[in-house]
Amino acid sequence: MVFDATFWVAISFIIFCGVLVYLKVPVKINENLNKLIADIKNELQESEKLRKETKEFLDQSQSKLNTASDETKVIIESAKKDANIMVQQMKDKFNKSAEIKKRLTEEKITQMKEQTIKEITNISLNIALTSVEKIIKNSIDKSKLDSIFQKNIEESKEALKNLKSN
């Protein structure tokens, strides 16, 4: 009986499988696979645990963000109210200040009017007294009286012009 190459390959394969079984290679492969499966399960459990922790952290962060956002809105509203109050106070102060300045200016104008009226009255009295004095000194001649009257009118006009220019 002549054995061909296929027969010897089959025999070699059976011997190889026997050696593998004898050396407990399938058991070791099974143990290694079980170990890998256990490691993968542990990693999955760890990743699930990390996912839960991350979700909790995300929820906490979102809650803090919402709280901060609400606080920010409250602070902004408070700042707006304070700003409006300050603007109103500044307007009130400005209006009071403007009113005081207006009143003081009106008082100054009134005082200046009174002073001007007094000056005009004094000048008019001085001119009148001077005219009367000149009339009395000069004779009551009609031509002289008319010339003195015209002269006094001119002097009065000149004095009023000087008063207006000052």
pLDDT digits (tens, 9 = 90+) for 87-104: 999 999 999 999 999 999
Residue 139 has pLDDT above 60, yes or no: no
Q: What is the mean pLDDT of residues 138-151?
A: 70
And the tokens for 117? 């009226």
Residue 118 has pLDDT above 60, yes or no: yes
pTM, 2 dp: 0.42
Q: What is the mean pLDDT of residues 112-125?
A: 87
Residue 66 has pLDDT above 80, yes or no: yes
111 is in which domain, residue-wise?
5-165
Residue 164 has pLDDT above 90, yes or no: no
With tokens 């170990």, the residue in question is 35
The answer to whether residues 159 and 128 touch, using CB atoms and an 8 Å cutoff, is no
Q: What is the pLDDT, as a whole number, of residue 67?
A: 93
The number of beta carbons lying within 10 Å of the beta carbon of residue 93 is 10
Out of 37-51, 72-86, 112-126, least confident range = 112-126
Q: How confident is the model at residue 161 (pLDDT cuts 50, 70, 90)?
A: confident
The rounded percent of the chain whose pLDDT value lies above 90 is 55
Long-range contacts, stretch 107-116, CB < 8 angstroms, 24+ apart: 116/163
Q: How confident is the model at residue 140 (pLDDT cuts 50, 70, 90)?
A: low
And the tokens for 35? 């170990």
With tokens 């220019």, the residue in question is 165
* Burial (CB count <10 Å: 0-12, 13-18, 19+), residue 156: middle
Domains identified in the chain, total number: 1
Q: What is the pLDDT, as a whole number, of residue 88?
A: 94
